Amino acid sequence: MVGGGIIGLFSAYYIVRRGFNVLVVDAGHVKASRFNAGFIVPSFALTTRFTLLDAIKALLGLGPVRVSIPGPGLSWLFNAYRSVSTTGLSAVRELGYRSLELYEELFSREHLDVDATRGVIALFLRREDAEAFSKSVRGDLIDSRELESYGYRGFEAGIFVREELALDPEKLHDSMIRALEDYGVRFINDRVLRIQEEERVKLSLAKTGVIEADYSILASGSWTRDLTAPLGYNPRVEPARGLVVKIPVRGDIIGKPGLMEDYGVAVQQHKSTGILRITGFFELLGYSGNWSRSRVEWLLDKVRRHLAIPREVRFEELELTTGFRPCTPTMTPVIGHIPGTMKIIVATGHCRLGLTLAPATGELVADIIEGSKPKLSWEAVKELAPRR
Ligand SMILES: Cc1cc2nc3c(=O)[nH]c(=O)nc-3n(C[C@H](O)[C@H](O)[C@H](O)COP(=O)(O)OP(=O)(O)OC[C@H]3O[C@@H](n4cnc5c(N)ncnc54)[C@H](O)[C@@H]3O)c2cc1C
Its pTM stands at 0.94
The count of C-alpha atoms lying within 13 angstroms of the C-alpha of 265, restricted to the half-sphere facing its C-beta, is 25
Kindly list the distances between the CA atom of residue 3 and the CA atoms of 31, 46, 201, 223, in Å, as whole numbers in the listed order.
9, 26, 16, 10
pLDDT at 81: 64
pLDDT tens-digit readout, 171-230 = 999 999 999 999 999 999 999 999 999 999 999 999 999 999 999 999 999 999 999 999
pLDDT at 90: 86
pLDDT at 388: 80
Task: Count Cβ atoms within 10 A of the Cβ of residue 373 and give its class: 0-12 exposed, 13-18 middle, 19 or more buried.
Answer: exposed
Q: Which atom of ligand 1 is nearest to the CA of 190?
A: 43
Q: Give 377 Cα–ligand 1 centroid separation in angstroms.
A: 25
Of 12, 37, 49, nearest to 270 (Cα)? 37
pLDDT at 348: 98
pLDDT at 129: 92
pLDDT at 62: 63
For residue 70, say if its preceding peptide bond is cis, omega within 30 degrees of 0: yes
Q: How far apart are CA 250 and CA 252, in angstroms?
A: 7
pLDDT at 363: 98
Count the Cβ atoms, other than its own, within 10 Å of residue 315: 11
Considering the chain, tell me which residue range(s) the CATH 3.30.9.10 domain(s) occupy: 117-165+238-327
123 three-class SS: strand
Mean local confidence (pLDDT), 54-74? 65
DSSP classification of residue 63: S
pLDDT tens-digit readout, 148-161 = 999 999 999 999 99
Of 387, 336, 388, 384, nearest to 89 (Cα)? 384
The response to whether residue 34 sits with its C-beta less than 6 Å from ligand 1 reads no
Q: What is the CA radius of gyration of the chain?
A: 20
Of 241, 388, 251, nearest to 323 (Cα)? 241
The response to whether residue 225 sits with its C-beta less than 6 Å from ligand 1 reads no
Q: What are phi and psi of 164, to 5 degrees?
A: -90, 170
pLDDT tens-digit readout, 263-290 = 999 999 999 999 999 999 999 888 999 9
Q: How far apart are CA 110 and CA 103, in angstroms?
A: 10
Q: Which atom of ligand 1 is nearest to the CA of 191?
A: 42
Task: Count Cβ atoms within 10 A of the Cβ of residue 120 and give its class: 0-12 exposed, 13-18 middle, 19 or more buried.
Answer: buried
User: Yes or no: is domain 1-49+85-116+167-237+329-388 CATH 3.30.70.330?
Assistant: no
Considering the chain, tell me which residue range(s) the CATH 3.50.50.60 domain(s) occupy: 1-49+85-116+167-237+329-388
The response to whether residue 326 sits with its C-beta less than 6 Å from ligand 1 reads yes
pLDDT at 63: 64
Q: How far apart are CA 74 and CA 361, in angstroms?
A: 28
Handedness of CA 42, 61, 154, 293 (dihedral sign): positive
The percent of residues above 70 in pLDDT, for the chain, comes to 89
pLDDT tens-digit readout, 335-370 = 999 999 999 999 999 999 999 999 999 999 999 999
Count the Cβ atoms, other than its own, within 10 Å of residue 124: 24
Q: Give 193 Cα–ligand 1 centroid separation in angstroms.
A: 19
Pick the CATH number of 117-165+238-327 from 3.40.50.300, 3.30.9.10, 3.40.50.11540, 1.10.443.10: 3.30.9.10
Q: Give 19 Cα–ligand 1 centroid separation in angstroms.
A: 26
pLDDT at 243: 96
List CB contacts of 227: < 8 A, sequence separation 6 or more.
2, 192, 194, 195, 218, 220
